[in-house]
């Protein structure tokens, strides 16, 4: 129980930190055009470390599953390893491409690898329904939302790589969206670990764990079942509200310069309203110039005086 909780907390925290780093770097590059790709090196290094820890945890879980003769648990861990290997490949190749000048891989190839990883993750949680009555299925369904955000953001970044007419900030916005999706994933992994292993779902629901990674959360009756699903939705809405606050804060940093350059619509008219208008006319008969000066009269409450 403690090992499973630690796995969810560590993995979720790692994904959260990586997503936050990706979002912050993208926000900085939106404000100031990137001068070099080296700013992403720390992000890719962090991704490689997190991926390696995920693979190590899955290998340890497979050994326990083999000892307990749980074939389902072995298959689940193999699915996790296949997904993490794609992200590890993406992060390592991206890191080498940034560090070594002679080693260059097109960015659209790296994004395709990343996209395959997110799609495989989506289908793993979408199809992972060992028990139709398990409460964990509700948490997996809600996890598909941030995964979908990552998929869409990666597709938009691929579009920027193929369309030369788009500006460089377009890809930065796509990376920012992917970072937000990863932040939501990390927060939700932490919430799942706390809910599954700490009993913070509802009374009458408990976990039945067959082996490492192979478990089901059952409820005694239909009232407890529906209450647990409602609590899961409430948890997700709370996390989503926190992410919205995170996005609004990031957007305020991006649009800070635009706000400073804002000019009121009637600024020019306000400068003209108090000016004096002159009308110069040249007569053909002489050099006399007639000057008509128009001075607006003001009276009480803004109305001109009448004589």
**Helix/strand/coil (H/E/C) assignment for every residue in 93-127:** HHHHHHHCCCCCCCHHHHHHHHHHHHHHHHHHHHH
How far is Cα 1 from Cα 27, in angstroms, rounded to an integer?
Answer: 39
Give how far the C-alpha of residue 270 lies from the chain's centroid of Cα atoms, to the nearest Å: 43
pLDDT of residue 277: 46
pLDDT of residue 35: 46
How far is Cα 280 from Cα 294, in angstroms, rounded to an integer?
Answer: 12
| pLDDT band at residue 164 using 50, 70 and 90 as cut-offs | very low
Give me the percent of the chain exceeding a pLDDT of 90: 23
Which of helix, strand or coil describes residue 149?
helix
pLDDT of residue 116: 94
Q: Is 1's pLDDT higher than 70?
A: no
Q: Considering the chain, what is the average pLDDT of its residues?
A: 78
pLDDT of residue 167: 44
**Residue 49 or 262, more confident:** 49
Q: Is 168's pLDDT higher than 80?
A: no
pLDDT of residue 191: 92
How far is Cα 275 from Cα 290, in angstroms, rounded to an integer?
Answer: 19
Mean predicted confidence (pLDDT) in 111-124: 92
Element (H, E) at 218: strand 214-219
Mean predicted confidence (pLDDT) in 285-291: 49
Q: Is 259's pLDDT higher than 60?
A: no
**Residue 43 or 274, more confident:** 43
Q: Is 74's pLDDT higher than 70?
A: yes
| pLDDT band at residue 118 using 50, 70 and 90 as cut-offs | very high
pLDDT of residue 38: 53
Lowest average pLDDT, out of 27-41, 51-65, 270-284, goes to 270-284
| pLDDT band at residue 182 using 50, 70 and 90 as cut-offs | very high
- Are the C-beta atoms of residues 23 and 179 closer than 8 Å to each other? yes
Q: Is 54's pLDDT higher than 80?
A: yes
Mean predicted confidence (pLDDT) in 96-101: 81
Which of helix, strand or coil describes residue 193?
helix
Mean predicted confidence (pLDDT) in 11-31: 81
Taking only the tens place, the pLDDT of each residue in 189-246 is 999 988 888 767 777 888 888 877 788 888 888 888 889 899 999 999 999 998 888 7
- Which DSSP letter does residue 204 get? T
Mean predicted confidence (pLDDT) in 137-162: 88
pLDDT of residue 140: 92
**Residue 220 or 162, more confident:** 220
Mean predicted confidence (pLDDT) in 235-260: 76
Q: How many CB atoms lie within 10 A of CB 222?
A: 9
pLDDT of residue 132: 77
């Amino acid at each position: 129980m403690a090992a499973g909780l630690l796995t969810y907390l560590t993995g979720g925290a790692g994904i959260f930190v990586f997503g936050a780093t990706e979002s912050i770097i993208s926000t900085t590059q939106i404000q100031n055009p990137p001068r070099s790709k080296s700013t992403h090196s720390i992000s890719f290094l962090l991704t490689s470390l997190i991926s390696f820890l995920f693979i190590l945890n899955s290998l340890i879980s497979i050994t326990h599953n083999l000892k307990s003769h749980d074939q389902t648990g072995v298959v689940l861990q193999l699915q996790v390893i296949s997904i993490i290997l794609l992200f590890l490949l993406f992060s390592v190749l991206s890191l080498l491409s940034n560090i070594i000048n002679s080693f260059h891989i097109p960015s659209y190839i790296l994004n395709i690898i990343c996209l395959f990883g997110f799609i495989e993750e989506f289908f793993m949680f979408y199809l992972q329904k060992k028990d139709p009555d398990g409460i964990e299925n509700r948490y997996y369904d809600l996890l598909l939302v941030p995964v979908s955000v990552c998929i869409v953001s990666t597709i938009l970044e691929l579009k920027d790589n193929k369309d030369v007419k788009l500006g460089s900030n377009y890809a930065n916005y796509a990376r920012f969206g992917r970072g937000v999706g990863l932040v939501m994933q990390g927060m939700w992994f932490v919430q799942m670990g706390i809910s599954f292993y700490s009993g913070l779902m509802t009374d009458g629901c408990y976990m039945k764990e067959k082996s490492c990674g192979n478990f089901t959360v059952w409820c005694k009756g239909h009232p407890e079942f529906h209450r647990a699903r409602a609590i899961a939705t409430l948890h997700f809405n709370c996390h989503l509200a926190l992410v919205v606050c995170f996005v609004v804060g990031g957007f305020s940093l991006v649009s800070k310069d635009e706000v400073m350059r804002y000019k009121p619509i009637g600024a020019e008219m306000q400068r003209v309203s108090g000016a004096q208008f002159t009308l110069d006319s040249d007569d053909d008969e002489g050099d006399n110039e007639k000057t008509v000066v128009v001075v607006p009269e003001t009276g009480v409450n803004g109305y001109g005086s009448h004589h």
